[in-house]
Amino acid sequence: MAKQTGVADGVRALFEARKKEPLSPQKVFVLLEVTGLDKTAERNSVRDALTWLVTCGYLVKTGMRATAQYRYSGQGMRFKKATAEELRERRIARGRASRAAQGAQRREPRADRMTINRARVELLADLAPARAWGKERNGHAQAETVEQFQARGGQVQRLTASWEQAA
């Protein structure tokens, strides 16, 4: 038997050894030695693997919740797991294809990397608040001083600061 590389492999090995025997989730936990308060994450992984193996058709589930039983369906896994060498070859082939696609469409290099995109500057300038010393621009009114506001008839409420209240 191949070396187990994950939780699903361990669950599959367990059910292959007990092809005729239906197993409850609790029995699976005991057989995989994931019982105890400190093994909650491992039990969740086993539970997820059981659900996934049922979805793949590898296991058959009967019952619900406390009465759930899992048994081997007799159908193997739909896809064979790739070996480390096969995965490495696929990764190399994808890299070659990616580099070939990038090489086919060479772009013109930018003459100056410090060039500012003027359209973006205009867009950001519209979002900025009006400057006190600036003129009205794009709907922003010119800022005014407190004295100018009071001269127009505005009322200003003065709030004392925390250090002034203590004095």
CA distance 12 to 49: 9
92 pLDDT band (50/70/90 cuts)? very high
Phi and psi dihedrals of 47, rounded to 5? Answer: -60, -45
Which pLDDT does position 73 carry in this prediction? Answer: 86
Task: Determine contact, residues 27/71, Cβ cutoff 8 Å.
Answer: no
Other CB atoms within a 10 A radius of the CB of residue 46 amount to 22
pTM above 0.85, yes or no: no
pLDDT score, position 119: 67
pLDDT in tens, 14-34: 888 888 888 988 889 898 888
